[in-house]
Amino acid sequence: MPSTATGIYHTSYGSELRLRHTHAEKIRLGILVVALAVLPFTLDNYWLSIVNSIGIAAIGAVGLNILVGFTGQISMGQGGFLAVGAFTSALLSSRAGLPVPLSIAAAVMLTASVGVVVGLPALRLRGLYLAIATLASQQIIEFVIRRWRWLTGGQGFLDVPRLRLVGLEIPRAHFELTWYAIILALATLAVLGARNVFRTALGRSFMAVRDHEIAAATMGVHVTRAKLTAFALSSGYVGLAGALTAHYTETVTWERFTIDISVQYLAMIIVGGLGSVAGSVYGAAFLMLLPPVLAELATAVRDKAPFLSEQLPAVQQAAFGLVIILFLLFEPRGLDRSWRRAREYFACWPFRY
Amino acid sequence: MTQFIQLTVYGLANGAILALAALGFVLVYKATRVINFAQGEFLLAGAYAFYSGWVLLGLPLIAALLFGVAVAVGLGVAIERFSLRPLIGEDPIAVIMVTVGLSAVLKATVQLFYGTTPLTMPKVLPAGSISLAGAHVPLDRVVAVAVAALVLSAFSAFFRWSRHGVAMRAVADDQQAALMQGISVTRIFALAWALGAVSALIGGILLADISELSQNLAGFGLIVFPVVILGGLESIPGTIVGGIVIGLVSQYAEGFSPGASQVAPYLLLVLILLLKPHGLFGQPRIARV
């Protein structure tokens, strides 16, 4: 399809529904694939582990964005859902002896069902009230995990055995690299899955509910079904992210699933762009990179400003807060919008519009 | 029985402070429709501002209080002007997240200046304990309840009778109608944030006095949600009822099983949301296309 400064012209419905419309997009996709293939060989283990956490976070962020960005249901319960996914998969694989792929699948299913239960109040509550209801679910799930001693065998954390691939344990030397491949594959599937959902009637009904619930209902959208499916789909994604965290980090503790994590994921989709699948990935990358990059900077200027490295946790937290505020004030549609704007600038160059 | 009395006094004291924190929350919500996730950090900032005036600057008690009030008012007005006014008319999620961002910044600022270790502050409230029907009841908690009751009545009187209080109620009811009566809505917004910060300051000082002055004070902010949901997001009497109920319920739960005080308010919250989504005194709104 020809792409011009004034838009893309379609001559059939099929072409409009396509995921990628122009040659430029296909070329960019090619570059991205090559970059992702080369990336792990250019990084050391420390940065590769950060890339891996970005991949897991991206899956969770896409899930949260389905709920918040596409369906308009604010959720502060992300941490709780992650915990359900992580604990389910960890328990099923280590204690019940289920193969890891099966236990991850079970974790996804269970988290999706918990999501539906938590989503039930959404049928009566909206906006602020729903945010607070999901906050309650977060606190309750966290409490259950902390208090239920059987869950962790009384030691407060769960050890997850090293992942076995075709019967063999992943060797230490290739640990990050193998996980990079696994996470990249799953994250790609997750992103493509989400992109495709929003081409279907179901995905469109999510957006209709977000834009105006009553208007959507009068047009024949089944609001109840749309909301509950959105909760199920979204928490399924989050459950996958949780399960991956469990097997990747090999320990599960409740500390990793507090309200701060819920907030961090919300920040990811705000920074990346609400209602944008690609934005969720940008946001996850941005917020997961922020603390290590700040730490690097603090080390680099240690001699000139020792204050920065001594107060690093506070500085990181302040930066986190400022990033959220500044994005909301100056780029409320997030990095996705910045990227589009940059693209348009070059498409129209040398004109400003 | 003695344990019951003790739990009741502890619950009432916590409830009174919760009511103060919730009052600030409701003031801001009523006037500006902003859900303030930084309410706990307002308690924190208020308590530390008072500490700086009293201990670090060595001011007399009254002057330290006034210093704290000045900091709280400045903070409230600045936050309203620079971070929330540009967002008027935006999605609830944007407004919520800005206050979440603010809470991170406030907490980090306190940590930068005062570190993470708990600080010792000389007692403001009387120390010692009295005996009540056989139970030893710490005096500071009893006085905290009295102080909170006094402050809450002062605020209620302010809304009932003063010009600005009436103007705030008018803005909360209908912004356009209030504008047409010559009320400056932007000024009311600033006033709401300033008063919210001041009531949090008082709550923060009381809380720091009966427990300790540390970063953990901010955690109190999250229990404000059950309080305001129970009382209704728009009701000032609701904050008092909600504060007392949540304070008592969590203390009784704690007496029943240690640690349960963290979750009991939220269980109650879910129950209320399912039975009466707008709280005991909240206003249901009718939505139309």
Please answer yes or no on whether B273 and A136 come within 8 Å at the CB atom: yes
CA distance B262 to chain A (A): 8
Please answer yes or no on whether A318 and B263 come within 8 Å at the CB atom: no
pTM, entire model? 0.91
For residue B112, the chain A residues in CB contact (below 8 A) are 311, 314-315, 318
Q: What is the pLDDT of residues B238-278, one digit of tens each?
A: 888 999 999 999 999 988 888 788 889 999 988 888 887 77
For residue B288, the chain A residues in CB contact (below 8 A) are 214
Burial of A295 (0-12, 13-18, 19+ CB in 10 A): middle
Residue A311 sits at the chain B interface (C-beta within 8 Å) = yes
Q: Nearest residue on chain B to A138, judged by CA atoms?
A: B266
Please answer yes or no on whether A332 and B269 come within 8 Å at the CB atom: no
Q: Is the pLDDT of residue A280 over 90?
A: yes
Question: Which are the contacts of B280, defined by CB distance < 8 A and separation ≥ 6?
Answer: B230, B231, B232, B235, B238, B241, B242
A19 pLDDT tier (thresholds 50, 70, 90): confident
Q: Which of A222, A220, A226, A219 is nearest to A203 (CA)?
A: A226
For residue A266, the chain B residues in CB contact (below 8 A) are 93, 97, 100
Preceding omega of A171 cis (within 30 degrees of 0): no
CA distance B84 to chain A (A): 9
Residue A33 sits at the chain B interface (C-beta within 8 Å) = no
Please answer yes or no on whether B101 and A317 come within 8 Å at the CB atom: no
Please answer yes or no on whether A315 and B103 come within 8 Å at the CB atom: no
Question: Which are the contacts of A179, defined by CB distance < 8 A and separation ≥ 6?
Answer: A52, A170, A248
Contact B46, B72 (CB under 8 A): yes
Q: Nearest residue on chain A to B264, judged by CA atoms?
A: A140
For residue B277, the chain A residues in CB contact (below 8 A) are 124-125, 129
Please answer yes or no on whether B104 and A274 come within 8 Å at the CB atom: no
What pLDDT does A1 receive? 42
Contact B126, B139 (CB under 8 A): yes
Residue A330 sits at the chain B interface (C-beta within 8 Å) = no
Q: Testing the interface with B: which of A129, A219, A311 to mutate, by most B Cβ within 10 A?
A: A129
Average pLDDT, chain B: 87
Which chain B residues touch A if contact means CB-CB below 8 Å?
Answer: 35, 83, 86-87, 90-94, 96-98, 100-109, 111-112, 222, 225-226, 229, 233, 259, 262-263, 266-267, 269-270, 273-274, 277-278, 287-289
Q: Is the pLDDT of residue A233 over 60?
A: yes
Q: What is the pLDDT of residues A168-223, one digit of tens each?
A: 777 777 889 999 999 999 999 999 999 999 988 999 999 999 998 889 999 999 99
Residue A305 sits at the chain B interface (C-beta within 8 Å) = no
Contact B103, B38 (CB under 8 A): yes
Higher pLDDT, B158 or B234: B158
What pLDDT does B116 receive? 83
Please answer yes or no on whether B97 and A267 come within 8 Å at the CB atom: yes
CA distance A298 to chain B (A): 15
Q: Is the pLDDT of residue B132 over 80?
A: no
CA distance B49 to chain A (A): 18
Tally of CA atoms within 13 A in the half-sphere of A92 that contains its CB: 22
Please answer yes or no on whether B262 and A325 come within 8 Å at the CB atom: no
Residue A321 sits at the chain B interface (C-beta within 8 Å) = yes
Q: Which of A135, A214, A323 sits opposite B225 (nearest CB)?
A: A135
d(CA A211, CA A72): 8
Q: Testing the interface with A: which of B34, B37, B39, B266 to mutate, by most A Cβ within 10 A?
A: B266
What pLDDT does A231 receive? 94
Phi, psi of B183 (to 5 degrees): -90, 135
B285 pLDDT tier (thresholds 50, 70, 90): low
What pLDDT does A185 receive? 95
Q: What is the pLDDT of residues B187-246, one digit of tens each?
A: 899 999 999 999 999 999 998 988 888 888 888 888 888 998 888 888 888 888 999 999
Three-state SS at B8: helix
For residue A274, the chain B residues in CB contact (below 8 A) are 91, 93
Average pLDDT, chain A: 88
Strand-pairing partners, residue B130, are: B137
A133 pLDDT tier (thresholds 50, 70, 90): confident
